């Protein structure tokens, strides 16, 4: 039994090492933190040395979701869908204080922390966070990935919370918009 245990632990270490240095990120950029994210991808900070510089713009080819900036309730279902389309294993980084807690937007339109939509692995606070903080967050995520079990059939078992119905899907709101919308002359039902 000891030989099998040693073989499994060495395999886990090898797969963890490979995963932590081959992160394919999907940048979900919605607000001003995007400028810091772009600076991070530049030559001065060299995100490529962590194996995470090459962004993928399709969720099916990425394993790291970098949520950058403010997330509104209207865009929350899109974020959830992108997360669900990502392949396993997948990780999520909350980039910026608005992503982590809603920031100074304490109102009805802003999600107060994306952990109410998707599970978050690393929080990077700041308004905006410095690139050094983001690099530290990537290194903490790499440590977490290295220590995960690397079984091929291991999947996350989190239960995703129900999303609230966006306020634009309410029938009364849609009807009010339709009734008060400006119409072009000559269009069907025009004034």
Q: What total of structural domains would you count in the chain?
A: 1
What average pLDDT does the chain have? 76
- Would you state the pLDDT for residue 166? 53
Task: Classify residue 44: in a domain, yes or no.
Answer: yes
Contacts of 43 (CB under 8 A, 6+ apart): none
Task: Classify residue 142: in a domain, yes or no.
Answer: yes
Q: Domain range for residue 20?
A: 2-159
Task: Classify residue 185: in a domain, yes or no.
Answer: no
Query: What is the average pLDDT across 38-49?
Result: 77
Give per-residue pLDDT as tens, 85-112. 888 888 899 988 888 888 888 788 888 8
Whether the pLDDT of residue 64 is over 70: the answer is: yes
Task: Classify residue 100: in a domain, yes or no.
Answer: yes
Q: Are the CB atoms for 155 and 119 separated by under 8 Å?
A: no
Task: Classify residue 168: in a domain, yes or no.
Answer: no
Whether the pLDDT of residue 43 is over 50: the answer is: yes
Domain containing residue 86: CATH number: 3.40.50.12280
Task: Classify residue 191: in a domain, yes or no.
Answer: no
Task: Classify residue 186: in a domain, yes or no.
Answer: no
Query: What is the average pLDDT across 168-184?
Result: 53
Task: Classify residue 89: in a domain, yes or no.
Answer: yes
| Rounded distance between C-alpha atoms, residue 85 and residue 27, angstroms | 14
Sheet containing 122-124: give its strands across.
25-29, 64-68, 91-95, 122-124
Q: Are the CB atoms for 104 and 9 separated by under 8 Å?
A: no
| CA pseudo-torsion sign 58, 62, 67, 73 | positive
């Amino acid at each position: 039994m000891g030989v099998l245990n040693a073989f499994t632990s060495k395999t886990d270490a090898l797969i963890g090492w490979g995963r932590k240095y081959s992160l394919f990120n999907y940048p979900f950029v919605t607000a001003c933190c995007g400028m810091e994210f772009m600076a991070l991808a530049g030559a001065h900070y060299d995100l490529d040395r962590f194996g995470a510089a090459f962004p993928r713009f399709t969720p099916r080819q990425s394993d790291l979701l970098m949520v950058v900036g403010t997330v509104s309730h209207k865009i929350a279902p899109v974020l959830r869908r992108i997360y669900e389309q990502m392949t396993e294993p997948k990780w999520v980084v909350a980039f910026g204080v608005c992503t982590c807690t809603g920031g100074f937007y304490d109102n009805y339109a802003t999600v107060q922390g994306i952990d109410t939509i998707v599970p978050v692995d690393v929080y990077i606070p700041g308004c905006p966070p410095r690139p050094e903080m983001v690099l530290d967050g990537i290194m903490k995520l790499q440590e977490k990935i290295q220590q995960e079990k690397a079984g091929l059939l291991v999947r996350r078992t989190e239960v995703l919370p129900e999303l609230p119905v966006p306020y634009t899907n309410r029938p009364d709101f849609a009807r009010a918009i339709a009734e008060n919308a400006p119409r072009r002359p000559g269009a069907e039902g025009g004034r």
